[in-house]
Amino acid sequence: MIYTSYHSRVDKLREAGIVPVNISAYPPRFVKAPYLRYLKLAPRRDMLKMEASEYNVEFAKILKNLVVTDVVEELAKLTGYGKPIALCCFEKSDETCHRKLVANWLRANGYEVREWQPAAVPDLFKQ
C-alpha cells in the first residue's frame, strides 16, 4: 500500500509498520535517521519560491518525465519489497503540497494511494 503523509508523523508511521520516504527537496532536521529519500518525486529547489500555479506546471513536467512502473519498483526496492510506504513532505495538509500531485499521478496510473491517518483511539469513557 502507498500512503502520503508529512514529516511530523514519521514516528507514528514507523510505529504503524509503515516505511516513511522523504520526497522533499530538503531533509527535515527533526526526523531521526535513518530516513529514506526518493528525490525523483521531490520538487527542484528553485520551485520552492514559485507561485502555486507555476509550481504545479513545473511539477507536472517532472512527473511527465518519469515512468510510473519504474518509480513504484524503485520505491519497493528502496523500502524492502512488500512493505507499506508513506511518501512524506513538509506540508501538514495534502491539499497544498506536491504529495497530492504525486498521489493523483499514481492513482491516474492505476495505483491505490491514500493520505495516512492514525487509527482513532476509542473513547473508553463514552457510553
pLDDT in tens, 76-86: 999 999 999 99
Could you give the CA distance from residue 72 to residue 78 in angstroms, rounded to a whole number?
10
Q: What is the pLDDT of residue 118?
A: 87
Confidence label for 23 from pLDDT (cuts 50, 70 and 90): very high
Q: What is the DSSP letter of 110?
A: T
Taking alpha carbons only, the member of 94, 98, 123 closest to residue 38 is 98
Could you give the CA distance from residue 29 to residue 43 in angstroms, rounded to a whole number?
18
pTM: 0.90
